[in-house]
Amino acid sequence: MPDAVLPPIDGPVPAPLEPIQLDGLLDVPDASVAAAEAGRGLRIWALATDAVDAGDLDQARRWFDDAERAQASSFVRAELRHSYEIAHGMARRIVGAVLDRDPGDVVWDRHDCPRCGEPHGRPRVEDAADAGVEFSLAHTPGMVLLAVAHGPVGVDVEHYPAAGGLSGLTGVLHPDEAAEVEKAEDPDEAVARFTRAWTRTEAYLKGVGIGLGRDPHLDYLGTDSAPVRLLEGWRIQDVRVPRGYGAAVATRDLS
């Protein structure tokens, strides 16, 4: 993958994508599932972790496989375990519904990594390739996102970092993005710009399946609010999330 050269963006700035907001872990609007199943494109679901009922989460844990149980119990920080479990419960519920399968019967593993060929790339659902269903999930304390698409997809959500800690973080960005963050007029704008660039980059690298196995400072995805970028056949869009978070999704342009 060479360094990215992006065309300029012309025309009006499109609004960020609106995710389908869930009210709870077991809340899956049938119409949305049907739409995803019918192949009408990308669907993103968002769930605030404090909206999740403890009883519903207990039920979701019963769907987990051994690897998920082991992963969940390995988290030292309770809020990381909580968002991991919610993400996996939500993914089993929605991916299962899209494939007309019970959540506990969803079997997943990983695509091969495009860098080394080992099976630690994008998540993959058994038998879903035939149905053309791909998904990506992202979890951070407070917020979980799931994207389902009929082609490679990556999604990311991050809490805004503390403004005081930004100077130690901008080195992960493309140098031009870091310069844009540093030129921001105030600390709030700097944090928003940093989070835009970082979530766009992570979404893209998760869509490709390489993750941070590729240096994130190689790809320029921009820090301003123009949210649509086409990068080597990928469409990268911001996702609307509550204040204090940033999110983005990348889909392979199959047209």
Ligand X SMILES: CC(C)(COP(=O)(O)OP(=O)(O)OC[C@H]1O[C@@H](n2cnc3c(N)ncnc32)[C@H](O)[C@@H]1OP(=O)(O)O)[C@@H](O)C(=O)NCCC(=O)NCCS
Q: Which residues bind ligand X (CB under 6 A)?
A: 84, 87, 113, 115-116, 120-123, 136-139, 154, 156, 202, 206, 209, 211-213
Q: Which amino acid is at 30?
A: D
Q: d(Cα 42, Cα 37) in Å, to the nearest integer?
A: 10
Residue whose CB is less far from ligand X, 74 or 225: 74
Question: Closest separation between CB of residue 158 and ligand X, Å?
Answer: 7
Residue whose CB is less far from ligand X, 87 or 178: 87
Question: Closest separation between CB of residue 31 and ligand X, Å?
Answer: 26
Q: CA-based angle 17:21:22, to the nearest 5?
A: 150
Residue whose CB is less far from ligand X, 120 or 217: 120
* Tokens 């240096």 belong to residue: 215
Question: Closest separation between CB of residue 159 and ligand X, Å?
Answer: 11
Residue whose CB is less far from ligand X, 216 or 227: 216
Residue whose CB is less far from ligand X, 29 or 213: 213
Question: Closest separation between CB of residue 215 and ligand X, Å?
Answer: 10
Residue whose CB is less far from ligand X, 139 or 229: 139
Question: Closest separation between CB of residue 143 and ligand X, Å?
Answer: 10
Instruction: Report the candidate in 167, 175, 140, 146 with the shortest Cα–Cα distance to residue 88.
Output: 146
Question: Closest separation between CB of residue 109 and ligand X, Å?
Answer: 10
Residue whose CB is less far from ligand X, 153 or 191: 153
Question: Closest separation between CB of residue 185 and ligand X, Å?
Answer: 28
- Quickly list DSSP for the chain: -PPP-PPPP-SSPPPPBPPEEPSSTT---HHHHHHHHTT---EEEEEEGGG--HHHHHHHHTT--HHHHHHHHH-SSHHHHHHHHHHHHHHHHHHHHHTT--GGG--EEEPPPTTT-SS-SSEEETTHHHHT-EEEEEEETTEEEEEEESS-EEEEEEEPPPGGGGGGTGGGS-HHHHHHHHT-SSHHHHHHHHHHHHHHHHHHHHHHT-GGGS-GGG----SSS---EEETTEEEEEB---TTEEEEEEEE---
